[in-house]
Amino acid sequence: MRGWASLPLSRSRTARTSIFFVVLALVCLAFSDIAVTTANPWQDLMRFFWGIVTPDFFSSAGLATAVLRTLAFAFVGVTIGSIAGFLLALVYRFRIVRTFSAFIRAIHEIFWALIFLQFFGFHPLTGVLAIAIPYSGIFAKVYSEILDEVDPEPRNLLHSRVGALSAFAYARIPDCWEQLRTYTSYRLECGFRSSAILGFVGLPTLGFYLESAFSQGHYSEAGAVLLLFYALIATIPLWVRPRMLPFYVLAAPFFLGDGMPIVWGNVKRFFTEDIVPAPLREGATGESFWPWLSELLVDQALPGIWNTLLLTQMALVATGVLALLAFPLISRHFGNRLSRTGGHVLLVVARSTPEYILAYILLQLWGPSMLPAVVALALHNGGIIGHLIGRQSSFITLRPDAPRGITRYGYELVPRVYPSFLAFLFYRWEIIMRETAILGILGIYTLGFYVDSAIQNIQFDKAMILILVTALLNIGIDILSRRIRKRLALQTMPTC
């Protein structure tokens, strides 16, 4: 009898890893809460699509301002993030810098915003820092990777008396300038998305209006906000030109708005009182610290971690499946020009809608369970990976007599793109987990749910510990994903 192990498939590491993750996701599925709980999900979905077809751009006078604020927060946040990230990248060889960068990027923009809201309140600084801080961590990592890739030869040819700074500026930067530029502009697009969703926690960006319109069932208003957002993202190549960039960066700080004044005493209070665990504050004896901590970890952190992991694993595999199904839509080996254009539009919409917004919409339409979250994560991330490998597959040249249709897909293309597909998927593993945690704010019982509950109860000490747990979990997944990619010899470029 032929056992499992002797199947040719299972002899490949890649195949074994894939099967392992699929099985793991199925096990997670058995433990998770997947349901459509609304009575008329399709009716609501149709009303939503009808709202998109009949957008109402004039319902809210603030919409134009919201567009401006969304852009301003993104420009300022990404600019500061890229400068700080670049400086960090220069000293990235130090473990402490790497750890610090990994830590700040492990905390989601929305968590950062929730933290700053507690002491800066509705001041523009809250939005700017919420983007700038995690982005510097990401920039630090990617910039340092780009700098490491630079050919050392030009540097070696320089005279030994050439200073470090000149050598850096003339022998290293020119070689990777194009990559730095491409990545930074790509990150700017991510910045627009981050900026938009900050509105969900009360900052004056597009998400603010989207949340209001949606929660009240005003689908035409919600449709208008979404369409504006797509228009903004889709036209980036037209209005974000290298020559215009300095102008935008200079102008952006003036369009952040006033917000409300910062009271600096609040900052001090937050760090010296609010986030100090209650049993350790002045007047407390400190004896109850361990019971306090273990109760927090057992009652909130553990269920939060469990649900976060369940959702992450299911979303990861769903993302993979969707990406593999979606990439032929834009691959030149399938369909015709018209069908590929349609495919491009679909994938652009999927990847430019932040997971948070997708999950929010689907939760409203289908009711609370993990299902809307899995679908949202899979749509967004599957859209990104599908786009990347679809584009890659178009560069593959097939034999003139190559099979067509499903055979072409299964035997010619998938095997060729599979390694880079897996590389992208594992790269996004950590990103999916970051989002999974944050979706808790929408009512799914992942870590974000408990963080939000602690904040709603004005217990920032608990919130900070839970955010810390989230960050550590995320760093853990990051390390694991890097190990797996190394083991399978997968290489990839960064995506956001």
Partner 1 sequence: MLKKFIGLATLAAAMQSYALSAAADTFVFTAIPDQDETQLVERFGAVEAYLEEQLDVDVRYVPVKSYAAAVSAFRNNQVQLAWFGGLSGVQARRLVPGSEAIAQGAEDPEFQSYVIANTSTGLEPMDELSDDLRDMTFTFGSKGSTSGRLMPEFYLREAYGEAPDEVFSRVGFSGNHTRTVRLVEAGTYQLGAVNFKVWESGVEDGSIDTDKVQVIWETPYYPDYQWTIRGDVNERFGEGFKEKVTQALLNMDDPDLLERFPRSGFIPASNEDYTPIEETAESLGLLN
Query: Per residue in 63-82, is it b (16+ CB within 10 Å) or e — as a string?
Result: beebbbbbbbbbbbbbbbbb
In the complex with partner 1, which residue's Cβ is closer, 83 or 298? Answer: 83
- Judged by beta carbon, residue 183 or residue 409, the one nearer partner 1 is 183
User: Closest approach of Cβ 452 to partner 1, in Å?
Assistant: 7
Choice between 61 and 406, CB closer to partner 1: 61
- For residue 4, the tally of other CB atoms under 10 A from its CB is 8
For helices 370-394 and 337-352, give the axis angle rounded to 10 degrees. Answer: 130
What's the Cα-to-Cα distance from 325 to each of 9, 17, 23, 328, 389, rounded to whole Å?
Answer: 21, 20, 19, 7, 11
Site of tokens 């993104």: 74
In the complex, least distance from residue 56 CB atom to partner 1, rounded to whole angstroms: 13
**Given the complex with partner 1, which of 37 and 54 has the nearer CB atom?**
37
Our CB check for partner 1 shows the closer of 79 and 144 to be: 79
Q: How far is the CB of 126 from partner 1 (least distance, A)?
A: 11
Give the H/E segment covering residue 70: helix 63-90
Ranges assigned E (strand) in 189-273: none
Handedness of CA 168, 427, 105, 201 (dihedral sign): positive
Token pair for 235: 């036209």
Cβ proximity to partner 1, 258 vs 287, nearer residue: 258
CA–CA gap between residue 307 and residue 293 (Å, rounded): 20
In whole angstroms, the minimum distance from the beta carbon of 187 to partner 1 comes to 14
Q: Which is nearer to partner 1, 279 or 419 (CB)?
A: 279
Binding site for partner 1 (CB under 8 A): 33, 37-40, 44, 76, 79-80, 82-83, 117-119, 121-125, 200-202, 208, 211-212, 215-217, 245-246, 249-250, 252-254, 256, 258-263, 266, 278, 367-368, 443, 452-453, 455-459
Least distance in Å: CB of 202 to partner 1? 4
| d(C-alpha 456, C-alpha 122), whole Å | 17
Closest distance to partner 1 from the beta carbon of 345 (Å)? 31
Nearer to partner 1 by C-beta: 53 or 458?
458
Cβ 76 to partner 1 shortest distance, Å:
6
How many Cα atoms sit within 13 Å of 356 on the Cβ side? 27
Query: Is the CB of residue 427 less than 8 Å from the CB of residue 494?
Result: yes
CA pair distance 195, 187, nearest whole angstrom: 12
CB of 51 to partner 1, least distance (A): 16
User: What distance separates the 2 farthest-apart alpha carbons in the chain?
Assistant: 82
- Residue 417 burial by Cβ neighbours in a 10 Å radius (0-12, 13-18, 19+): buried
Question: Is the distance from CB of 315 to CB of 377 less than 8 angstroms?
Answer: yes
The nearer residue to partner 1, 30 or 61, going by C-beta atoms, is 61
C-beta of residue 488 within 8 angstroms of C-beta of residue 14: yes
Distance in Å, CB of 11 to partner 1, minimum: 45
Distances in whole angstroms, Cα of residue 37 to Cα of each of 26, 261, 364, 371 = 21, 43, 10, 10
Q: Pick between residue 3 and residue 246 the one whose CB is nearest to partner 1.
A: 246
Looking at the chain, the number of H-run helices and the number of E-run strands are: 23, 0
Minimal distance, residue 60 CB to partner 1, in Å: 10
Nearer Cβ to partner 1, position 209 or 424?
209
Exposure of 338 by Cβ count < 10 A (0-12 exposed, 13-18 middle, 19+ buried)? exposed
The minimum distance between CB 368 and partner 1, in angstroms, equals 5
